[in-house]
Amino acid sequence: MWRQTVQPKEIKMALEEESVVDKIEVVGDYNHVQVRTATVIKRDGVEISRAFSRHVISAGDDYSGEDAKVQGICAAVHTQDVIDAYAAHLAEQE
């Protein structure tokens, strides 16, 4: 009986993970900024997975660590008048 021995091939795959802010919305009376971030996993440049996370930035919150696009929108919509109105609203709720 003849038997051939096959050597296993070494397979190299490149996995990449990328996080991208893909949606920014301004909602409500106090201009809450909702940010959706997509985490994309790629194998050899082809997307194999995508997951989303979300967070909200309220008027008066520190947004210095956010994406540049998010910072620009927060700077535009979180004026001092909006920050003061939101702070007054929060004080009323307590």
The pLDDT-based confidence of 38 (bands split at 50, 70, 90) is very high
What local confidence, expressed as pLDDT, does residue 51 receive?
98
Question: Could you tell me the two tokens for 18?
Answer: 């990328």
Contacts of 36 (CB under 8 A, 6+ apart): 21, 22, 23, 24, 52, 53, 54
- Name the least confident of 8-12, 15-19, 32-36, 62-66: 8-12
CA distance 78 to 68: 15
Residue of 21, 1, 17 whose CA lies nearest to 70 = 21
The pTM of the whole model exceeds 0.85: no
Q: What is the pLDDT averaged over residues 74-86?
A: 98
